[in-house]
Amino acid sequence: MCGIVGYVGFQDAQTAIVSGLKRMEYRGYDSAGIALVNERGIEVRKKAGKIANLVQELEDHPIAPSHQGIGHTRWATHGGPTDENAHPHLGATGRVGLVHNGIIENFASLAAGLAADGVVLRSQTDSEIVAHLLEREVLVGHSLVEAMRRTVVQLRGAFTLVAVDAQSPGEVVAARRSSPLVVGVGQSEMFLASDVASFIAYTREAIELGQDQIVRITPDTVEVTMFDGTSAVTRPYHIDWDLSAAQKDGYDWFMRKEIFEQPKAVADTLLGRIGADRQLVLDEMRIDTAHLRTIDAIIVVAAGTAYHAGLIAKYAIEHWTRIPVEVELASEFRYRDPIVTSTTLVVTISQSGETADTLMAVRHAREQHAKVVSICNTNGATIPRESDAVIYTHAGPEIAVASTKGFTTQLIACYLLGLYLAQIRGTKFGDEVQRLVEELGSLSGKMDEVLDDLDGVLGLAEQLRDAEDFLFLGRHVGYPVALEGALKLKEISYTHAEGFAAGELKHGPIALVEKGLPIFIVVPPKGRDQLHDKVVSNIQEVRARGGRTIVLAERGDADAAAFADVFWPLPIVPTLFQPVLAILPLQVFACQIATLNGHDVDQPRNLAKSVTVE
């Protein structure tokens, strides 16, 4: 959510900043702007709507050449998406320019203080207030770094602030609290950004910034200190993907490309997980095995698609470890006074590693002395840094707002965690763990099988493009798949869809069934208790009432196929692993429906990739 770019160096700053903003469009935004420092002072251009509007504004009203500046894509919180509310914001004299991600919780009292001093605000944002406060400190003679330090102590909330001073050529200064910011280290140039994607075309060397840190960049230096002025520890790292990984490679949408990248992403998530002794190894698990043997409860905390991955994880981890598992929505977790102790393991799932609700859950859990394991795709993000251990998914960049490969690689990471706990606790024999890990290794090839046979999915999307309602049903691990399938369709096609546990059908949802209603049913493999037969009965129930049944079941399941209007066969895998395959045609179906109906698949309305405010 929102995107920030800061640049200082030898290049044309406008080019570097605008290209960086474009590469962060996937984060979601409703306005964009840029501020450059040149011989005229600070020049600002900003427009509501897409970056294309900003580019047109820059063509109509050019800015003098510059090698120093800041840019921003905004997601409206305080004040609507207007030109006036777009960032950057200037102080009263125009000497200081600032962009801001996050929310300033005490903005009302700060605004009242500024008004009492005669300051007239030009926008309805909380961000402009910070520009005035910062400029006030600069005008009394403080350096931009010292002014930033004196300003942040006045603020409550989560924020990233990036600023320039018209009278301080060759530097950009930023501050970070509970909102993402990373430094890109180039040759005679430096970058600040919300996401490494913004500068990956220029450098793959980065420095992660910690909580409550201030950074000053010049073309050749990076200086990082804490809010209180003391020295700070930083961690340089190399970005292990390049610009080509963030390009479409001939696909019409990033989402479609990322769907087809899933077999490789799953294989990459599994790389290096088996040691020479055939034992499962998780190098990022920095929690002592003796402590893990004392764990008596696990709480999985996540939001959106990651929450659905967590629901599937519950079935697997409980089955393999015999430890009770709860799955919590991150936004609800700390507000319900959860029971968390030193023998509770909290597992957080976040693709970006910056999800605000999930980050707050991490902090709450650690305050209760619980150990936290994070599952994340983003090296150097806040959530893994503040956790006791991390399992990186190594999925590469996921640009589309609707998560696809994020979901399947999160599932693999959850399976690895469950099997690792089973291994060290002795609830599974070594050969059993090895066999299951080998089954995981085979999933990549089976995913290719599913993705190689999608003609029926694409054809069905053409038939159902005008349908107004969809139902998704599943049992056991198929239930979260139904939830995720419905979510994907809602997110990108704006079509009403609901996911239900199939066993709940007669407890209400069956009232929705009418002639022609498309109903997707995920059927568990045969041999899983009586679940298979019960779901087949559900298929018959909705078909008898006129529903159009689209059935996902393992290849050769004649019982399920007999009552299916449309049958999508899946390769045979253990029940717990079926979601990795079953979700694929549902992702493709949602993508195709949205495409046929002319929607922006990668940037659906009102949504952002990473929700970095509560």
The residues that are catalytic are: 2, 609
What is the chain's Cα-based Rg?
25
> Exposure pattern of 98-133 as b/e (b: 16+ CB <10 Å)?
bbbbbbbeebeebbeebeeeebebebebbbbbbbbb
- Phi first, then psi: give them for residue 581, nearest 5 degrees: -90, -40
Contact of 455 with 441, CB cutoff 8 Å = no
Q: How far is CA 283 from CA 109, 120, 287, 457, in A?
A: 47, 55, 10, 39
Residue 119 φ/ψ region, left for φ over 0, alpha for ψ in the -120 to 50 degree band, beta for the rest:
beta
| Integer Cα distance of 355 and 409 in angstroms | 17
CA distances to 338, 352, 360, 369, 386 from 364, in Å: 10, 19, 6, 9, 11
Helices of type H across 368-477: 382-386, 405-425, 430-451, 455-464
CB 355 within 8 A of CB 27: no
Q: For residue 530, what are the contacts with CB-CB under 8 A and spacing of at least 6? A: none
Q: Looking at the DSSP assignment, which residues form a beta bridge with residue 326?
A: 299
Helix axes 430-451, 262-270, angle to 10 degrees: 160
In one-letter notation, the amino acid at residue 46 is K
Tell the residue number behind the tokens 């798949």, with chain if given: 481
Contact between residue 502 and residue 602 where contact means Cβ atoms under 8 Å apart: no
Q: What pairs with residue 98 in β-bridges?
A: 89, 163
Distance CA(380)–CA(181), nearest Å, equals 10
